Amino acid sequence: MVRYAKPRSVDEALGLLADGEWRILAGGTDFYPALGSLPLKYDVLDINGLAELDHISETDDAFVIGARTSWTSLIRHDLPPAFDALKLAAREVGSVQIQNRATVAGNLCNASPAADGVPPLLALDATVELRSASGIRTLPLYDFILGNRKTARRPDELLTAIRIPTSATAGRSGFVKLGARRYLVISIAMAAANVEIEGDGRISAARVAVGACSPVALRLPALEVALVGCQADASVVGAIPNQHFAGLSPIDDVRGSAAYRIEAAREIVGRALLMAVGGRRAEAVAA
Amino acid sequence: MMLAKTPLTFIVNDRPVAVEVPPTARLSAVLRDQLGLKGTKVGCDAGDCGACTVAIDGELACACLVPAASVEGAEVRTVEGLANGAVSALQASFLRHGAAQCGICTPGFLVAAARLLEDNPRPKEQEVRDALGGVLCRCTGYRKIIAAVMDVGSNAPTAPELPKAGKAVGSSPSRLDGLPKVLGSDRFGADSFPKDALSLLVIRSPHWHAGFTFGDLDAFVANRPGLVAVYTASDIPGVNAFGVIPPFADQPALAEGYARFRGEAVAIVVGEKDAVEALDPSDFPIKWDEREHALTVAESKAAAPLHAARPDNVMAQGKVRRGDADAAIAASHVTASGSIETSYVEHAYIEPEAGCAWMDGDTLVIQACTQAPVMDRDDTARILGLPVEKVRILPTATGGGFGSKLDLSLQPLIGLAALKTGRPVALAYTRSESMMSTTKRHPAEMQATIGADAQGRITGMVFDGDFNTGAYASWGPTVATRVPVHASGPYFTPNYRAAARGIHTNGPVSGAFRGFGVPQAAVMQETLYDELAGKLGIDRLEFRLRNALRNGQPTVCGHVMESGIGIADCLEALVPHWRRALADAEAHNKKARHIRRGVGIASCWYGCGNTGIPNPSAIKLGITADGKLVLHQGAVDIGQGSNTVIPQICADALGVPLSAFTLTGADTAVTPDAGKTSGSRQTYISGKAAEKSGRALRETILRYANVSSDAEIGLDGGKLLIREGAASRTIDLTGLPADADGFVFRADETYDPPTVPLNENGQGKPYAVYGWGAQIVELAVDTKLGTVELIKITAAHDVGRAINPLLAEGQVEGGIAQGIGMALMEEYVPGRTENLHDYLIPTIGDVPPIETILVEVPDPEGPFGAKGLGEHVLIPTAPAILNAIRDATGALVTKLPATPSRVMEAIRATRGAE
């Protein structure tokens, strides 16, 4: 018989995790598709009883997204403009039906190369909080997702929160998802950008990430450096030379060729930046 | 291994419920199996289709993704909770607008729309799209769903009155079978399984091509309590080869020794439901021995034959020759040549195949979704070694078919298990099982050259196409026949040579899909027409009008029709729209930078019914002694509307109001064969049989009453009231002798289209009736990303006579949506896209406003002048889209679908060439 547990506290959950291997069930939107029609063959730890993880809160130096926060909760929560990109991404996670159940944290733990939440969270310098019976550790998001469907979470750990440092929430943001249809679509490529703008209208800091063009979504540090000092207007697109995209390693698949993805990534990064510097909500989906 | 069951209490539709289920059971399964709420449909079990949408504490969710444990104490609302005793305004609006076709997605849409309307009683179109973006529909093209949701607040009557006697044809009553579809009470293939039914797991080949040997099957069963048996090919009592075209029957119900494609069934495991659900197919004792395989036509030409009797893997070839095409092209003022490649397209009906079977005495009863009950009966009987009268097919409501539910799928499997065990057996395919094992649209590789003279008249055309027909024949021979007959398009083409071949590969079986290869061929021809018009400097619509086939001109098959050809009428109806669209695009492009607008046009013609071979329909109609008028409506309604259209025709032929009819469906034990729902034949052929039956019954009654043909017939309980002028007569039915069917008056009429078989050059009269149409697509291309935004589609279709204009519009919109999918996003890659998130069909956000113009050029043969429509509507869409993309960008995409990646590649190639 496989086991099922629905703990009522994080400590109880961590105790169970210390005691054996569990598949964690949160929103269920990745759990059930992965299960398909097969019988359950693994122990299931259902974290839907952990009320303490369903919150969005602020500390002195960070915004904290609890591990059970759904995309819909995120969309409805009043957050600064730096989160606009994440909210735009949230609206593109599957459908409303999915957004109501799926959690932001689950999107990270599932570690799909096309996870909608990852580029905007990378561009927000997000970290994840991993707790176990033996302690707590914090990893930058880019160190947490290791590859296609691979994370740094140990079997005894629970991802309990996503933290966005307040220092990364000063600017504005943009997000563009490229897909082959309007709704319910897995990205061909996506881009998220956060920029901070000085009083003189120049970019003082930029963080840009691209998804679905490498096994793990990537920040584009060379581009970010190049953007600093640029005028925060439509001319910003001119500051995007091809070599800044060299780190991407897209694949050829049914959704698009690798060459196309690189070209498209460059284009949508430009559009995400325009959205960010324009401070307006442009069309987030190109489909 | 299964989880232990735990008690669970929650509220469903305001009623507290208590069940015992495993905590991780999907809520969809709990609602359906434990609580009997079958209105919540299962289309994918992965959150991709939204058919199982319910509201949990007021928030929408896909019930297939919600663990039972999560609804403890919660309030769940399903489609059954929307009506509250009466039909809600939303449900009434769905009925009024024809927003439900097959009805399988309707519950999901209704629940999602009801949630939207709670917050926003007067939503705008974009708000409706955003709210319903998570539910897929394959029938309607979404436009009528949007209209229905936006119209809920209007003061329209909830149930429009049914038309009076003599007024049914041409009116648009709501679907006669619509109410259960909006209430969620319609019963589809998976909705009425017997409680004690055994379950069945199909073991399928994971390889393209592989031999196999079984391990110890007896031990496998013996070691698993609850399992009853494993059956393999050696258990099949009859002929283990089926196929929709008997001379080509080649597909085993269970493979014998080796499998020719991934997903082919090799064995079935039968057992109690819990025991079968606990099975992991990878534990099944089978050893595979992979063999070389060919997935493309090119690979297949070099490979060993899949079927010994079919050398070079050529399954069938069709040819049409008329005049001297090569000489005519050589002498042409201008020519255009090109090649087009298309992909496998999946039907993606939202209802996966499902059904159950049981023994009724010595008769095997199979209750399943289908498009072709009599063909199901005959082939299942042959496989199981039963006389046909010992197999009874009870069609359920069918949640979309589009051609694929013409073929057998689970019928022989559940039939075999019921026959062997003597117990009821039930099976619902999973989405991936449905996708990997059932038929697809043929991928095509086509080349063509067309010539025209200096006046812009077509001189000749040569067409050649290879169609990947997959591992078994299915409808491949029909595709090979239909393509050369139609590849000219609806244009006068005096010199013509066309060939199409069905080529076997180890890919999925290609079969029937709305248009039988003609949509692919139309892409080839219509894109070359644009090139010719460009070379000649003639407006593209004018060029088509100049060449449109006219009454009295022979088709490429030499068929001369003296009346009824409506293509010029369709094109002429589009002229003002074309001028407006071109002007709009030009105005936009003057100020546009990287977003370029384009306008495209394409036409279609399509012969209704079988090609030059018999294709009869029979309709039985009678009046019982208690005055019930019973129409045995055997034309299966898979959403297209035959349950409404056939009675409308019959009502006016008989001269009674539409409300007088009681319908009996296509139960093969009691209803005569109205043929398959395929080939756009039901309105025309079964409609004609219904017309004949209606007229025959009328004549019988009037003769009995000894009155003239002008008399009116009225039904009043057990009496017939006959009125002629001032005189009237009453016939007491209760006093008349009833026959075995209980009828005191009856009519049984059959209609078979008058066709002439094609000769060796493809000359003859392949169809008695054709339908015609043309569509304009307006779109915008983002020339930096290759994305395409559709702006508007204007469709003019000659239906001869619109029996039910609302349902006809629904066919047009739904066909266009499938054409959009084929043009822009649908590409089934075997082994890679066996689900509805990797295989993309259009969502509610992908179908633009559609303006439908129903043209009525009466056909001398069709009932009340009617022609077929169902397949026609898909044909022009993809070529019109490609032509519009070229108009916008100068780039022609030559491989479908035109994904952003391919559009960008074509744009880049065009830039490079400049």
Domain holding B45: CATH number?
3.10.20.30
Best residue of B785, B832, B895, B904 to probe chain A, by most A CBs closer than 10 Å: B785
Do B825 and B863 belong to one domain? yes
- Please name the residues in contact with A201: beta carbons below 8 A apart, sequence gap of 6 or more: A231, A232, A233
Percent of chain A whose pLDDT exceeds 90: 92
* Cα–Cα distances in angstroms (integers) from residue A165 to residues A58, A123, A140, B144, in the given order: 10, 11, 11, 47
Element (H, E) at B298: helix B297-301
Residue B394: inside a domain: yes
Residue where one domain finishes, among candidates B751, B774, B805:
B751
Domain at B123, CATH number: 1.10.150.120
Q: Report d(CA B141, CA B143) in Å as an integer.
A: 6
Do B227 and B354 belong to one domain? yes
Average pLDDT over chain B, rounded to whole? 97
Residue B167: inside a domain: no
What is the predicted pLDDT for the residue at A279? Answer: 55
Residue where one domain finishes, among candidates B694, B722, B751:
B751
Residue in this structure with the two tokens 């009950």, named with its chain if needed? B373
Give the burial class of A3: count Cβ atoms within 10 A of its Cβ; 0-12 exposed, 13-18 middle, 19 or more buried: middle
DSSP-based three-state secondary structure for B150: helix
Residue B315: inside a domain: no
Of B26, B46, B901, Cβ closest to residue A256:
B901
Residue A285: pLDDT band (50, 70, 90) is low
Residue A66 has pLDDT above 50, yes or no: yes
The arithmetic mean of pLDDT across residues A120-148, rounded, is: 98
The count of domains in chain B is 5
Tokens representing residue B106 in the block = 């309707």
Give me the domain span that covers residue B205: 198-291+348-437
Residue B214: pLDDT band (50, 70, 90) is very high
Identity of the residue numbered B723: R
Phi, psi of B777 (to 5 degrees): -115, 130
* Cα–Cα distances in angstroms (integers) from residue B719 to residues B200, B628, B714, B744, in the given order: 51, 10, 8, 11
Phi, psi of A164 (to 5 degrees): -115, 115
How many contacts (CB atoms, under 8 Å) link A and B?
Answer: 174
Query: Mean pLDDT lowest for which of B149-158, B517-526, B814-823?
Result: B149-158
Q: Report d(CA B395, CA B640) in Å as an integer.
A: 15
Strand partners, B603: B774
* Domain spanning A170-286, CATH architecture: 2-Layer Sandwich (3.30)
Beta-strand (E) ranges in A179-225? 189-197, 203-211, 218-219
Sign of CA dihedral B540, B545, B548, B553: negative
Do B711 and B650 belong to one domain? yes
What is the predicted pLDDT for the residue at B805? Answer: 98
Q: Report d(CA B858, CA B847) in Å as an integer.
A: 30
Residue B81: pLDDT band (50, 70, 90) is very high
Which of B100, B98, B123, B126 is closest to B113 using CA atoms? B123
ipTM tops 0.90: yes
Tokens representing residue B207 in the block = 């390889």
Is B905 close to A260, i.e. CB distance below 8 A? yes
Q: CB–CB of B681/B606 below 8 Å?
A: no
Of A28, A36, A94, Cβ closest to residue B134:
A94
Cβ atoms < 10 Å from Cβ of B290: 13
Phi, psi of B282 (to 5 degrees): -70, -15
Of A6, A183, A286, Cβ closest to residue B23:
A6
Percent of chain B whose pLDDT exceeds 70: 99
Q: Using a CB-CB distance cutoff of 8 angstroms, which residues of chain B are in contact with residue A22?
A: none
Q: Using a CB-CB distance cutoff of 8 angstroms, which residues of chain A are in contact with residue B832?
A: 253-254
Residue B120 has pLDDT above 90, yes or no: yes
Q: Report d(CA B195, CA A229) in Å as an integer.
A: 72
DSSP-based three-state secondary structure for B16: strand
The arithmetic mean of pLDDT across residues A190-212, rounded, is: 96
Is B844 close to A183, i.e. CB distance below 8 A? yes
| Per-residue pLDDT tens digits for B696-711 | 999 999 999 999 999 9
Q: In what order do the strands lie in the sheet with B334-341?
A: B314-322, B495-504, B458-470, B444-452, B334-341
Residue A281 has pLDDT above 50, yes or no: no
Do B624 and B729 belong to one domain? yes
**Is pLDDT larger for residue B616 or for residue B159?**
B616
Is A39 close to B277, i.e. CB distance below 8 A? yes
Do B746 and B785 belong to one domain? no
Tell me the CATH number for domain A51-167: 3.30.465.10
Is B280 close to A39, i.e. CB distance below 8 A? yes
| Per-residue pLDDT tens digits for B640-696 | 999 999 999 999 999 999 999 999 999 999 999 999 999 999 999 999 999 999 999
Residue B806: pLDDT band (50, 70, 90) is very high
Domain limits, chain A: 51-167, 170-286
Average pLDDT over chain A, rounded to whole? 95
Q: CB–CB of A95/B133 below 8 Å?
A: yes
| Per-residue pLDDT tens digits for B834-858 | 999 999 999 999 999 999 999 999 9
Residue B97: inside a domain: yes
Residue B318: inside a domain: no
| Per-residue pLDDT tens digits for B560-583 | 999 999 999 999 999 999 999 999
